[in-house]
């Protein structure tokens, strides 16, 4: 089912609210402009009106922390509200809620119209040059609509949570300006009708991640984390740029619909689509934190916790998954690239899960779980089960946003308690928590819902999406282009069995480390301290309210795509039918034109296996982990052996530092700086030319002394030389 560019006029959506789709990104862009203006306006007034100065005065020697964080780069909270805080609190979340409302209205119009072809809304010409003509145009179809609803819906909840969480930060307007800009670029990314326009959004979210991760830039660690995210993503961007060059050189188009039309006569396994798909995947590994470019994502925890929720749940890290789903027909022509995507995704899922087993920082546990779950999504889209991949992207947005915002509530409570007693402990270390269910019951129950969802316990949202991915992998081990292909000489069916096994292993570890996080945070005795304990309490409702909504979605979100075998639970395959006009053709290409099929008995066995593994992981954690025996961070012994290796993330960062960073710095310092810059350019070319000119000037000066005798001798010498020349030559 190849899509072709339809005329704008005459499309079923042309006369509906969909013609205002351009407002979807423009509203958050407006929020960025207004909040940015408020930030600059008040920054221009120094003195008592300067909130930073006020905070420093109010907190005396704690003024250092007025930037909203402590020595460890962790979030902190102080009572020094920005003068424009109330207005910012209306603008920041307000534009997102308006955008979400418009998205819901467009979704309603799309459902009523039952469209098969995408609706292209062209705004203006961007790059009309020679054979290349790129418009600024938005593409509304079923896939982009799902992404828009996730981004604006989850984004709105995160913005509301931020109103409470960041209320006392001196950079409050700047924070919301960045947050609004982030959503604008993400919407541009998913609405763009061509790869170049998508790339604008792609780069924009990279810029915003740098700004938000390094939001508290006065701390070097935070600034370094922002730079790390920015630089690592540039490596992936190189791949995407090369892919676009290859696309235009071989197919003469860069629009999604144009490329799909040009792929009609290309054979499965051809070299060009395989190369393009692999380069696109390189771009996706950077943006979506897959091996070997995952290292920036855990460090992104340096930013405020709502930023972590936004990056991990609804925006940037899902861009790579969206890119592959959007390029489904291209990847369906490249089984080698698909097997690569699936295998890298499975390896990433397992590798990140092992690290998550031994992290003590509550946000680091969630960060590695995001890397691991993104691996699952890549397994889904890698095997051509695009609906399954997008489905897990959606359910993950629900429960991961809940987990991050829930951890934000926990950190908020811990900081409030430590701040009240002027105690300086790590508020994010789970060893300093424990027993919080008595103080934060709402957060406790909601985070357990999200934990059961991500662990894959039946009837929670993650169970349906994770099971669908694993079942899709198993179903393609035979009767598919993947099973008939090969990766580095290994038959595709063998690769798929390995991917399936790795998926099960990652599921087991996910259940263990997530249960560990809950046990050490909420169960057992409280380890915060006797003086701090009375100050532990639930966060305000502006923060807890979004958690409740996300809890409902984490609980019931799986009902959006119940598999046919469990159709007795409700309408089956709603998301699958919705996405079929976009992803259906690519999925059928992988399975030779027939839907992937498993016998009922096989499906029941797969579901039973997945449930058994999830339950076993939780049971193992309850049996082996004893929060009663855990000591506060200061009293805990250092990790040893394998635990130390896992705690230090397999020393991958250290390995990268020695293998890449330090040699690069050494070459830059000795060759580029001292050799080329200082020696060649400054020394030989710039200073050397100056010395040479000076020498010429000195020589010339010696000939212009004003002494007649010297001139006479030079005249005689010249005459002799001329006569000599005539005589001997």
Residues 6 or more apart in contact with residue 697 via CB below 8 angstroms: none
Phi-psi sector, 82: left (phi>0), alpha (psi -120 to 50), beta = beta
Residues 6 or more apart in contact with residue 346 via CB below 8 angstroms: 375, 379, 498, 499, 502, 503, 506
Are 509 and 356 in contact by the 8 Å Cβ rule? The answer is yes
| Per-residue model confidence (pLDDT) at position 72 | 45
3-state secondary structure of 131: coil
User: How many alpha carbons lie under 13 Å from residue 632 in its C-beta half-sphere?
Assistant: 10
Residues 6 or more apart in contact with residue 390 via CB below 8 angstroms: 143, 146, 321, 322, 325, 380, 381, 575, 579, 583
Q: Which residues pair with 120 in a beta bridge?
A: 139
| Per-residue model confidence (pLDDT) at position 612 | 96
Q: How far is CA 133 from CA 129, 138, 195, 482, in A?
A: 6, 15, 12, 35
Q: Which residues pair with 600 in a beta bridge?
A: none
Count Cβ atoms within 10 A of the Cβ of residue 250 and give its class: 0-12 exposed, 13-18 middle, 19 or more buried. middle
Question: 634-661 burial by CB neighbour count: b if 16+ within 10 A, else e?
Answer: eeeeeeeeeeeebbebeeeeeeeeeeee
Q: How far is CA 406 from CA 402, 412, 443, 451, 559, in A?
A: 6, 10, 6, 11, 23
Are 553 and 462 in contact by the 8 Å Cβ rule? The answer is no
Measured distance CA(373)–CA(398) in Å, rounded: 13
Q: Report strand pairing: 490-491 vs 132-140.
A: unpaired
Measured distance CA(559)–CA(570) in Å, rounded: 7
| Per-residue model confidence (pLDDT) at position 709 | 82
Q: Which residues pair with 133 in a beta bridge?
A: 128
Are 613 and 503 in contact by the 8 Å Cβ rule? The answer is no
Q: Which strand (E) or helix (H) includes residue 662? A: helix 662-667
Q: Which strand (E) or helix (H) includes residue 134? A: strand 132-140
**Cα-atom radius of gyration of the chain, to the nearest Å?**
30
pLDDT along the chain (729 residues), means of 10: 52 91 96 94 60 41 41 50 87 96 96 92 88 90 96 96 91 94 96 96 92 88 87 90 95 93 90 96 93 88 88 86 95 96 96 95 94 95 95 95 95 93 90 94 96 95 93 93 93 96 96 96 94 92 95 93 80 89 94 86 93 96 93 89 93 92 91 90 90 90 80 87 82
Are 235 and 286 in contact by the 8 Å Cβ rule? The answer is yes
Measured distance CA(550)–CA(485) in Å, rounded: 41
Query: Can you give the pTM of this predicted structure?
Result: 0.88
Phi-psi sector, 699: left (phi>0), alpha (psi -120 to 50), beta = alpha
Residues 6 or more apart in contact with residue 415 via CB below 8 angstroms: 74, 75, 76, 77, 427
Residues 6 or more apart in contact with residue 679 via CB below 8 angstroms: none
Measured distance CA(108)–CA(103) in Å, rounded: 9
Are 561 and 573 in contact by the 8 Å Cβ rule? The answer is yes
Measured distance CA(56)–CA(62) in Å, rounded: 7
SS (H, E, C) 188-199: HHHHECEHHHHH
Closest CA to 515 of 503, 507, 526: 507
Q: Which strand (E) or helix (H) includes residue 138? A: strand 132-140
Angle between helices 386-421 and 461-475 (to 10 degrees): 140
Are 373 and 403 in contact by the 8 Å Cβ rule? The answer is no
Q: Is the peptide bond before 292 cis (omega within 30 degrees of 0)?
A: yes
Measured distance CA(599)–CA(202) in Å, rounded: 41
Q: How is 478-518 classified by DSSP, letter by letter?
A: SSSHHHHSEETTEEHHHHHHHHHHHHHHHHHHHHHHHHHHH
Q: How far is CA 518 from CA 94, 514, 626, in A?
A: 33, 6, 12
Q: Which strand (E) or helix (H) includes residue 125? A: strand 119-129
Are 293 and 232 in contact by the 8 Å Cβ rule? The answer is yes
Closest CA to 25 of 166, 197, 162, 240: 197
SS (H, E, C) 673-721: HHHHHHHHHHHHHHHHHHHHHHHHHHHHHHHCCCCHHHHHHHHHHHHHH
Residue count (the chain): 729
């Amino acid at each position: 089912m190849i899509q072709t560019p339809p005329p704008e006029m005459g499309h079923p959506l042309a006369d509906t609210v969909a013609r205002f789709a351009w407002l979807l990104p423009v509203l958050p862009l407006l929020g960025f402009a207004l909040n940015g203006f408020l930030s600059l306006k008040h920054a221009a007034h120094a003195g008592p009106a300067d909130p930073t100065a006020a905070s420093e005065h109010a907190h005396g020697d704690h003024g250092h922390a007025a930037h909203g964080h402590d020595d460890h780069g962790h979030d902190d909270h102080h009572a020094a509200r920005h003068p424009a805080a109330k207005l910012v609190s209306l603008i920041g979340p307000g534009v997102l809620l308006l955008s979400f409302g418009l998205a819901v209205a467009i979704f309603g119009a799309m459902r009523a119209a039952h469209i098969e072809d995408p609706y292209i809304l062209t705004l203006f010409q961007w790059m009309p040059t020679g054979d290349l003509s790129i418009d600024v145009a938005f593409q509304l179809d079923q896939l982009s609509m799902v992404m828009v609803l996730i981004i604006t819906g989850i984004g709105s909840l995160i913005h509301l949570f931020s109103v409470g969480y960041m209320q006392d930060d001196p950079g409050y307007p700047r924070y919301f300006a960045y947050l609004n800009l982030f959503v604008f670029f993400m919407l541009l990314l998913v609405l763009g009708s061509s790869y170049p326009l998508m790339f604008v959004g792609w780069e924009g979210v990279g810029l915003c991640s740098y700004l938000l991760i390094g939001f508290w830039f006065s701390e070097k660690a935070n600034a370094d984390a922002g730079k790390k995210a920015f630089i690592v993503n540039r490596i992936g961007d190189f791949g995407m740029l090369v892919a676009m060059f290859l696309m235009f050189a071989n197919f003469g188009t860069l629009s999604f619909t144009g490329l799909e039309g040009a792929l009609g006569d290309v054979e499965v396994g051809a070299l060009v689509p395989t190369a393009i798909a692999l380069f696109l995947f390189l771009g996706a590994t950077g943006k979506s934190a897959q091996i070997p470019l995952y290292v920036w994502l855990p460090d992104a925890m340096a930013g405020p916790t709502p930023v972590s929720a936004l990056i991990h749940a609804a925006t940037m890290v899902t861009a790579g998954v969206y890119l592959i789903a959007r390029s489904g027909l291209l990847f369906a022509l490249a089984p080698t690239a698909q097997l690569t995507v699936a295998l890298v995704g499975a390896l990433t899922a397992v590798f990140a899960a092992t690290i998550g087993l031994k992290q003590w920082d509550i946000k680091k546990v969630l960060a590695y779980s995001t890397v691991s779950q993104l691996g699952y999504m890549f397994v889904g889209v890698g095997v051509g089960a695009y609906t399954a991949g997008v489905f897990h992207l959606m359910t993950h947005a629900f429960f991961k946003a809940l987990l991050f915002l829930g951890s934000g509530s926990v950190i908020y409570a811990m900081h409030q308690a430590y701040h009240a007693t002027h105690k300086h402990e790590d508020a994010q270390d789970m060893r300093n928590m424990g027993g919080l269910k008595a103080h934060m019951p709402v957060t406790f129950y909601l985070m357990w819902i999200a934990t059961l969802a991500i662990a894959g316990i039946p009837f929670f949202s993650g169970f349906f999406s994770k099971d669908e991915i694993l079942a899709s992998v198993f179903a393609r081990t035979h009767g598919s282009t993947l099973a008939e292909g090969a990766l580095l000489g290994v038959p595709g069916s063998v690769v798929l069995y390995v991917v399936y096994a790795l998926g099960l292993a990652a599921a087991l570890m996910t259940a263990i480390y997530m249960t560990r996080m809950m046990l050490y945070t909420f169960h057992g005795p409280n380890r915060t301290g006797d003086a701090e304990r009375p100050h532990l309490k639930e966060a305000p409702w502006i923060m807890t309210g979004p958690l409740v909504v996300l809890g409902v979605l984490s609980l019931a979100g799986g009902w959006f795509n119940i598999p046919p075998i469990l159709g007795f639970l409700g309408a089956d395959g709603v998301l699958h039918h919705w996405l079929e006009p976009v992803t259906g053709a690519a999925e059928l290409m992988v399975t030779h034109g027939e839907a992937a099929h498993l016998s009922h008995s096989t499906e029941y066995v797969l579901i039973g296996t997945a449930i058994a593994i999830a339950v076993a992981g939780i049971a193992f954690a309850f049996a082996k982990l004893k929060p009663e025996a855990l000591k506060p961070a200061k009293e805990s012994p250092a990790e040893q052996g394998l635990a130390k290796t896992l705690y230090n993330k397999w020393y991958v960062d250290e390995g990268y530092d020695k293998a890449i960073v330090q040699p690069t710095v050494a070459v830059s310092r000795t060759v580029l700086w001292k050799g080329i810059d200082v020696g060649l350019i400054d020394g030989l070319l710039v200073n050397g030319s100056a010395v040479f000119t000076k020498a010429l000037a000195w020589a010339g000066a010696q000939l212009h002394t004003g002494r007649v005798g010297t001139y006479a001798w030079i005249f005689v010498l010249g005459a002799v030389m001329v006569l000599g020349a005539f005589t001997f030559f």
